[in-house]
Amino acid sequence: MAAGGLDASAHPGHRERVSVKGGGSLLTLIADRHFLLMAAWPSLAAMLLVTAIPFAATLGLSLTDYDLVRSDSWHFIGLENFVELLRDPQTGRIVFNTLYLVVATTGISTLVGLGLAMLMQGTWRGLRLIRTLYLLPIMTAPVVVAMCWRAMFANDAGWIDYGLSLLHLPQPVWLGDPALAMPAVIISDMWTGVPFQAVLLLAGLLGVSGELKEAAQVDGANPWQVFWNVTLPSIRPVLTVAIILKFIDAFRKFEGIQLLTTGGPGIASTTLNLHIFVTGLTYDRVGYA
């Protein structure tokens, strides 16, 4: 069938191809699966180089007793490192610490960030300045943030303990108490985690249709029902992305723990990242790390 300079032919089980006179060859190529694959292969090859090769090298090292002291003398030991890891009594606690940190920081940052984002979607005076100031913690280097919080958590001399003393409340040893070390790390993470989530979720909230909210209010919905049935479904894609990004960031957290507690006391705040660092660079056991 041909009409208006367009030639189209349909085949059973195949995608319909449209040929446009004077430019049909380009459209045909774009619709062709092979052309798309050829156009994508440079990016796929680059991703393969930066992910698969390092992963394979790391996997290979894990099957040896390679260390930094005897780098010229190492042996293939198979799965001995993995067996030792499973038998190590510290492994369970370190995995628990990691999951505790990831779940707590992701959950708290997302909930508090969503609340602040809802406050910042208004039109009250000075709102633009507050939105700008919210970007400052995100732009601050993690090392600087960790050093500031270490000073605030310092026993007796820290601002937090000083504030508690003014209220005649006990001043705990935040970074020296096994029960408080990880909560201190989580609190310090909120400084950058909450603004990051708030900025992402604010972008989603500003895209929610005002007409849908007004229609729900006209139908008699209260503020909670409007949020649950209109706002939340509308921002679900942005919320999902925000949770995933924070989840990944929490797994990668290293500087804050290293500078705040060095994983202590004992292994009370040691996570997998820190354990790998200490095992590989302090004890020189790169293969096991």
Report pLDDT digits (tens) over 30-60: 556 676 677 777 777 888 888 888 888 888 8
Spatial distance between the Cα atoms of 286 and 81, rounded to a whole number of angstroms:
11
What's the confidence (pLDDT) of residue 21? 43
Q: Is the pLDDT of residue 202 over 80?
A: yes
Most confident among 68-82, 89-103, 121-135, 171-185 (mean pLDDT) = 89-103
Asked whether residue 163 falls in the same domain as residue 237, the answer is yes
Of the two residues 4 and 150, the one the predictor is more confident about is: 150
Asked whether residue 9 falls in the same domain as residue 115, the answer is no
Asked whether residue 232 falls in the same domain as residue 112, the answer is yes
Domain span including residue 171: 82-282
What is the residue-averaged pLDDT of the chain?
80
The answer to whether position 232 is within a domain reads: yes
| Domain endpoint, select from 37, 59, 78 | 78
The answer to whether position 288 is within a domain reads: no
| Domain endpoint, select from 24, 55, 78 | 78
Considering its fold, how many domains does the chain have in total?
2
Asked whether residue 267 falls in the same domain as residue 153, the answer is yes
| Domain endpoint, select from 78, 97, 115 | 78
Q: What are the distances in angstroms from CA 99 to CA 233, 251, 252, 273?
A: 28, 8, 12, 12
Query: Sheet containing 6-9: which strands, arranged edge to edge?
Result: 2-3, 6-9, 17-20
Asked whether residue 101 falls in the same domain as residue 188, the answer is yes
- Strands (E) across the chain are located at 2-3, 6-9, 17-20
Query: Residue range 261-273: average pLDDT?
Result: 87
The answer to whether position 287 is within a domain reads: no
What's the confidence (pLDDT) of residue 25? 56
Asked whether residue 164 falls in the same domain as residue 251, the answer is yes
CB 17 within 8 A of CB 31: yes
Asked whether residue 120 falls in the same domain as residue 137, the answer is yes
Asked whether residue 168 falls in the same domain as residue 217, the answer is yes
The answer to whether position 289 is within a domain reads: no
The answer to whether position 188 is within a domain reads: yes
DSSP state of 17: E
What's the confidence (pLDDT) of residue 186? 93
Assign 241 a pLDDT band (cuts: 50, 70, 90).
very high
The answer to whether position 243 is within a domain reads: yes
Asked whether residue 14 falls in the same domain as residue 127, the answer is no
